[in-house]
Structure 1
Amino acid sequence: MSTTPNSPPPSPLDGLRFAFGTLTVLPVRVTRWDREAARGGMLGAPAVGLVVGGCAAGLGLLALFLGAGPLLAAVASAAVPAVLTRGLHLDGLADTADGLGSGKPAEDALRIMKQSDIGPFGVLTLVFVLLAQVAALAQLYDISWARGACAVVAAAVAARLALTLAARTGVPAARPDGLGAAVAGVVPVRWALAVTAAVTAAAAAWGALLGPSDAVRTAAAVLLALAAAELLLRHCTRRLGGITGDVFGGLAETAATSALVVLCLGV
């Protein structure tokens, strides 16, 4: 994955196409597949979260408006990210759980992760993660529609921001091919930190629409979600030798779930 000598520098639109084309099923054509476009795509990943989260919140609010209860609205909101990613993040989470849970050396663990079937570790992880997401959203929607919608968007953005940080310089790829190899190390650390600061500030402003305490809670949810994803990233790097596309999916779901759980606390 490299840029040819005569290729023009990528535009911001190339980066957004890369982000939406690789992280969603939306009909976006990826016009460039090189390190520069991947850098723009990973820097723009939170924008993907904003769109996905907006769609998820919209469906949840529509369900409530039509008379559904908080639990059904929570299921609807949790289903949208799965649909818009064709379940790739959830599949990556399950594969990562199977690989890490196997206790085998890196090469064998990576082979297990690449298999099409899902093992017991993957099934259990999916069940508990989805239950946690739905339970958290049901609680938040039950408190207020606005609080639930705010949480859905914040969690989706935090999930994709975790990918920006995972693509930073110094994090290697576990395999020579795949999405992990395409984006590993493409984002300079200072740029990743700048995006993190900007998104956290935006999250605080978003939460402030509900009140001063919610501004703090929403910003804290983003930061703690990133901390949880970082712990998983470091563990995967030690155990597997780097990141893969499956690990990216696991990081996104870990961050989203952590954010939702934090947003439930103290409300």
Structure 2
Amino acid sequence: MLDGLRFAFGTLSVLRVRVDRWDRETAGRAMLAAPLVGLVLGGLAAGAGALVAWRGGGGLLAATAAVAALAALTRGLHLDGLADVADGLGSGKPAEDALRIMKQSDIGPFGVLTLVLTLLAQLAALAGEFGRSPGRGALAVLTAALAARCALAWGCLRPVPAARPGGLGAMVAGTVPPAGALAVSALCVAGLCAAAVTLGDWRYPVALTAGLACAWLLLRRCVRRFGGITGDVLGAMAETAGTAALLALALTR
């Protein structure tokens, strides 16, 4: 598991971690350990947002600080994947051409529009939570970060193939047993349930579950459209899960 943790932090964050093993077995363990990455990065981003809110910066500025921190701590990896998948799905081209579009370094109109709307939704939802209290805003950030990383395990289930050889997608595709993905998601839900009991607010575990459901729908669409997953698909799933969790919080306030 130590190799899996190193793989997870070295791949999914900017934190300087030495990765000693780069194989499919370690990749599967890394995807199961991804929620721990979410816990660390989400905690850092939540702290940034809560500090701004506590200093009187207001909900919107606190939300901006949290979203910016998460993007910086991941090098914008998941946002880039979301934009590429939006371009691939929006192109309407056959799978091979769509995958080629996704691999290009530039971002098309579908990707730009999706990024703008996604970031606006995240900022609006978090601004409302930070506006209520720094603590609730911080917990919302943490919920979104956990949902995003739990989604990675579901994207790498053993029945799910890779869309093309090579790359991160091929390395992690089909490496996670369903029981493992279910277990790590259940642990995250249980942790949020403990927070819900303390706050008397059950929206957080419900929001994580809603985020995973939306990511699963995107996974099914991508597998049908592209024939499997890529690293971009996993990034898009992470952003979808996190954003959907925040929207669930906003709509059930």
**Structures share fold, TM-score greater than 0.5:** yes
Structure 2 residues not aligned, in runs of 5+: none
Higher-Rg structure is: 1
Query: What is the correspondence of 1:211-230 to structure 2 with a 5 Å cutoff?
Result: 211=200, 214=201, 216-230=202-216
Instruction: Give the residue type in structure 2 aligned to 1:132.
Output: A
In structure 2, distance between residues paired with 1:138 and 1:49: 20
Q: 2:62 aligns with which of 50, 70, 73?
A: 73
Alignment partner, residue 83 of structure 1: 72
**Residue 25 of structure 2 is aligned to residue 39 of structure 1:** no
Instruction: Give the residue type in structure 1 aligned to 2:23.
Output: D
Alignment partner, residue 237 of structure 2: 251
Q: What is the CA-CA distance between 1:206 and the residue it aligns to?
A: 2.3
In structure 2, distance between residues paired with 1:266 and 1:175: 40
Alignment partner, residue 101 of structure 2: 112
Q: 1:149 aligns with which of 138, 145, 148?
A: 138
Instruction: Give the residue type in structure 2 aligned to 1:244.
Output: T
Alignment partner, residue 26 of structure 1: 15
**Residue 230 of structure 2 is aligned to residue 241 of structure 1:** no
In structure 1, distance between residues paired with 2:133 and 2:151: 27
Q: What is the CA-CA distance between 1:45 and the residue it aligns to?
A: 0.4
Q: What is the CA-CA distance between 1:128 and the residue it aligns to?
A: 0.3
Contact 1:60–1:76 (CA<8 Å) still a contact in 2? Answer: yes
Alignment partner, residue 186 of structure 1: 175
Q: What is the CA-CA distance between 1:201 and the residue it aligns to?
A: 1.2
Alignment partner, residue 8 of structure 1: none
Deviation per residue, 1:180-208 (Å, 9 max, x gap): 00100101111111222222111211232
Query: What is the correspondence of 1:38-57 to structure 2 with a 5 Å cutoff?
Result: 38-57=27-46
Alignment partner, residue 6 of structure 1: none
C-alpha RMSD of matched pairs (Å):
0.9
In structure 2, distance between residues paired with 1:109 and 1:180: 16
Contact 1:63–1:76 (CA<8 Å) still a contact in 2? Answer: yes
Instruction: Give the residue type in structure 2 aligned to 1:37.
Output: T
Instruction: Give the residue type in structure 1 aligned to 2:164.
Output: R
Alignment partner, residue 262 of structure 1: 248
Judge which range, 171-180 or 201-210, deviates more.
Answer: 201-210
Contact 1:150–1:207 (CA<8 Å) still a contact in 2? Answer: no
Contact 1:139–1:264 (CA<8 Å) still a contact in 2? Answer: yes
Calculate the TM-score normalised by the size of structure 1.
0.93
Q: What is the CA-CA distance between 1:265 and the residue it aligns to?
A: 2.3
In structure 2, distance between residues paired with 1:84 and 1:155: 15
Q: Matched residues, percent identical?
A: 65
Q: What is the CA-CA distance between 1:105 and the residue it aligns to?
A: 0.4
In structure 2, distance between residues paired with 1:242 and 1:207: 36
Instruction: Give the residue type in structure 2 aligned to 1:218.
Output: Y
In structure 2, distance between residues paired with 1:29 and 1:177: 22
Contact 2:54–2:134 (CA<8 Å) still a contact in 1? Answer: no
* Paired residue secondary structure (2:199): coil
Alignment partner, residue 204 of structure 1: 193
Alignment partner, residue 3 of structure 1: none
In structure 2, distance between residues paired with 1:139 and 1:242: 37
In structure 2, distance between residues paired with 1:254 and 1:74: 18
